[in-house]
Amino acid sequence: MQAVQWAEAARAAARAGRWLEAEDLWRKVLGADARHPEALYSLGVHAFQAGHLEESVDLLRRACEAAPGEATVWVFLSAVLKAAGLAEEAWEAIQGALVADPYSLAALLAKASLLEEANGAASAVVSYRNALKVAPPSQHWPPHLREQLEHASRLVEAETRAYQDYLLQTLDGLIRQTQPTDRPRWREALSIMAGASRPYLSDANQLYVPRLPAIPFFTREHFPWIEALEANTDLIRQELEAALAGAQGAFTPYITYAPGQPVNQWGELNHSDRWSTLDLWKSGSPIAGNQQLCPGTTRALAEVDLAQIEGLCPNVMFSALAPRTRIPPHHGETNARVIAHLPLVVPENCEYRVGFDRIQWKPGEVIVFDDTLEHEAYNGSDVLRTVLIFDVWNPLLSQDDREIVLAMAAAARSYGGG
């Protein structure tokens, strides 16, 4: 009972910064219980701080024997052994820490540090990467580990970039022998192998068709209507500019979450004119007033194989992205349809990413992509960027496939009385 009271008093003294008093109390605890783990650990820390390495090692070894499941004690023992120049024993202590807790952030960082000192940065990359995986987001890094985590982050980034560059240089000649449309796939494979990027997988918010290839950007031959639409670019741009200059309120914020809804990555753009649209069709329904504002655009789109899925698409809109604005990474509603862009006004420093692939819009040149892959956009200029966006059927679906998609969407709408 006396030992319990001394331990409580020692903790209180340590919290108050009365270190000598705490040390005396822990020695009393140890006199009453020679295997008291906390007393052994605390006195081991005191001995290390006083420069008594041999005494610290002895106390900490005994603490590990008394409480082998305490990873923190093993990590501190390793640090003391390292300071004493006993590298092999420091390594063994870290192994003990990871046996106690394989996810100990401090132990993973200590292991990586030992590897880096012994064999160089490349040997420590995996361990540093593992530490970063179990670490919380950087804004929540523990203060006493922040410097180590920052070092880990810099080292992993540098080594990953060096490995990726090596792979690209080594295989560049072979990749250049493949078809131009295949080259991005192999460059992405090397990026994933190096750890510079992750696989981007199709992820639909509503209706997902399994086993369709997830193609970031489709080639033009899938869409025979492209040239005819591109020929109307000037007319479409003129109607866009008239709409921007004319009807007040025609363009409205694209992101409009109601109060109480989780906005997630959309917080900065929610109800913001920084990303605004003028809808010609929305969720499958025509917007008659806006189509009357843009009759030439509406007629041109009549020749396009728009995806018709009741309650879902087509969506057709002019999209206006303000200067210095980023649309954050997100996924689309269904891979039964793909998204087409007809760029209209595209200043410099505008970029679009779908999965691993990045492109620059070119005014008047249609691009078609699978938006169930993570995608994002950026306008880094000082000028408004405008694009006509519309839904078309995924060209990899047969007519029979389309009928099943329509039946699936209808069944989803009718379930539970709609």
CATH number at residue 93: 1.25.40.10
Residues 221, 223, 227, 233, CA torsion sign? negative
pLDDT at 252 exceeding the cut of 90: yes
390, part of any domain = yes
3-state SS, residue 368: strand
Residue predicted with more confidence, 249 or 175: 175
Q: Are residues 395 and 246 in the same domain?
A: yes
Can you give the pLDDT at residue 248? 64
292, part of any domain = yes
Query: Considering 136, 157, 178, which residue would you say is the last residue of a domain?
Result: 157
Mean pLDDT of 272-301: 96
Can you give the pLDDT at residue 246? 81
Beta strands in 270-315 (DSSP E): 275-282, 285-286
Can you give the pLDDT at residue 336? 97
Locus of tokens 């999209």: 319
Can you give the pLDDT at residue 418? 62
Give the CA-trace dihedral at 22, 25, 30, 35, to 10 degrees: -50
Range of the domain at 272: 220-257+266-417
Query: Considering 157, 183, 200, which residue would you say is the last residue of a domain?
Result: 157
132, part of any domain = yes
The mean pLDDT of the chain is: 94
Widest Cα–Cα separation across the chain? 93
Model-level pTM greater than 0.75?
A: yes
239, part of any domain = yes
Token pair recorded at residue 341: 């862009």
Can you give the pLDDT at residue 74? 96
Q: Are residues 133 and 271 in the same domain?
A: no
Pairing of strands 285-286, 385-393: unpaired
| DSSP line for 309-329 | BTTTB--EEEEEE-TTEEEEE
Q: Kindly indicate the confidence band of residue 7, based on its pLDDT and cuts at 50, 70 and 90.
A: confident
pLDDT at 417 exceeding the cut of 80: no
Q: Are residues 363 and 245 in the same domain?
A: yes
Amino acid identity for residue 100 in this structure: A
91, part of any domain = yes
Q: Kindly indicate the confidence band of residue 317, based on its pLDDT and cuts at 50, 70 and 90.
A: very high
CATH number, residue 328: 2.60.120.330
Percent residues over pLDDT 70 in the chain: 99
333 phi, psi to nearest 5 deg: -85, -35
Least confident of 202-211, 256-265, 362-371: 256-265
Residues 287, 199: Cα–Cα separation, whole Å:
38
Q: Are residues 270 and 377 in the same domain?
A: yes
Structurally, the chain folds into a number of domains equal to 2
Q: Are residues 234 and 317 in the same domain?
A: yes
Give the CA-trace dihedral at 205, 207, 209, 212, to 10 degrees: -40
pLDDT at 89 exceeding the cut of 90: yes
The secondary structure of residue 222, as a DSSP letter, is: G
290, part of any domain = yes
171, part of any domain = no
pLDDT in tens, 156-191: 999 999 999 999 999 999 999 999 989 999 999 999
Apex 18 CA angle, 12 and 23, nearest 5? 85
Query: Considering 157, 180, 198, which residue would you say is the last residue of a domain?
Result: 157
Amino acid identity for residue 297 in this structure: T
Least confident of 11-15, 73-77, 164-168, 324-328: 11-15
Residues 189, 197: Cα–Cα separation, whole Å:
9
Q: How many alpha carbons lie under 13 Å from residue 48 in its C-beta half-sphere?
A: 21
Q: Provide the β-strand partners of residue 391.
A: 339
Q: Are residues 288 and 362 in the same domain?
A: yes
pLDDT in tens, 19-49: 899 888 889 888 888 899 999 999 999 999 9
pLDDT at 211 exceeding the cut of 80: yes
CA 69 to chain CA centroid, Å, is 34
214, part of any domain = no
Token pair recorded at residue 393: 């059927």
